[in-house]
Amino acid sequence: MYEEHPIFIQPDNEEIKIWRYMDFTKLTSLIDSNCLYFVRADKLGDPFEGSWPRINVSARQFIPDDIPKKAKQSFSYAMKNLGELTRNWPRHNAINSWHMNEHESAAMWKLYLKSDEGIAIQSTYARLKRSLIDDQKIHLGIVKYIDYEKEWIDAGNLLSPFVHKRKSYEHEREIRAVVTKWPNNKDFDFKKDTIFDGLRIKVDIKILIERIYIAPSAETWFAALVKSVINKYGYDFEIVHSQLSNKPLF
């Protein structure tokens, strides 16, 4: 179930369109399971996922003046251990990502599809939020892109790294949903996984999906197959063949 969180920034217009580009098998899995798949953060392919900017890490070396002399050694020890904790922290968070854009993206089609038989689910931010019906607490918001060498993020919340990425990824215009599963032992041992490859999070498909776009270079038969499968599961979503491959006029 969606839960507000101060770290997660909401878009000015929650009716903005969001997109998830995928192959046909993933669409079938979504429709069949009524679940979105959330990937464990350290398995997303970005080695910086869940990490902290240089300024944040460097700040751990400094001991505030107002800390009593007797406590300074303990404080220094805790800061050294913090690096080990945060290194393992991504293993306890799972993420599901969407592209925020009023229009379909040629770049996203190329980036996320390995063949012509692909689709894009078009939803809205508001629909995604309403569709999250799982018992797990789910945070949702906009990713902010920063320079990890020159900028810093809020060090007061362990979820801060999961709403920030490097500027190299700005083209993704990412909306992400995050599920956290804390260590379930008394010692809070972050080396013991609470999430393995990922999590299946239950959603209301009728609310989530507004339209399904067929990849620009897909054949007519593929569009017919997608429509047939959708209908067999009892849905009647609008099927739109992408117009990005239309012939230009001169």
- The 3-class secondary structure across 129-190, one letter per residue, is HHHECCCCCEEEEECEEECCCCCCCCCCCCCHHHHEEEHHHHHHCEEEEEEECCCCCCCCCC
pLDDT for res 224: 96
Residue 31 lies in a domain: yes
Mean pLDDT on 222-236: 96
Instruction: Give the model confidence (pLDDT) of 88-143 as tens digits.
Output: 999 999 999 999 999 999 999 999 888 889 999 999 999 999 999 999 999 999 99
pLDDT for res 186: 66
Report percent pLDDT > 70 for the chain.
Answer: 90
Which residue range is the domain that position 132 belongs to? Answer: 17-241
In the chain, the number of structural domains is 1
Residue 5 lies in a domain: no
Residue 200 lies in a domain: yes
Q: pLDDT-based confidence at 185, cuts 50/70/90?
A: low
pLDDT for res 78: 56
Q: Which of 193, 173, 200 is nearest to 90 (CA)?
A: 193
Q: Which residues contact 174 (CB under 8 A, 6 or more apart)?
A: 97, 98, 99, 100, 142, 143, 165
pTM higher than 0.85: yes
Instruction: Give the model confidence (pLDDT) of 195-215 as tens digits.
Output: 999 999 999 999 999 999 999
Token digits of residue 7:
């770290």
Residue 10 lies in a domain: no
Residue 158 lies in a domain: yes
pLDDT for res 191: 79
Residue 8 lies in a domain: no
Residue 1 lies in a domain: no
Angle separating helix axes 24-33 and 220-232, nearest 10 degrees: 10
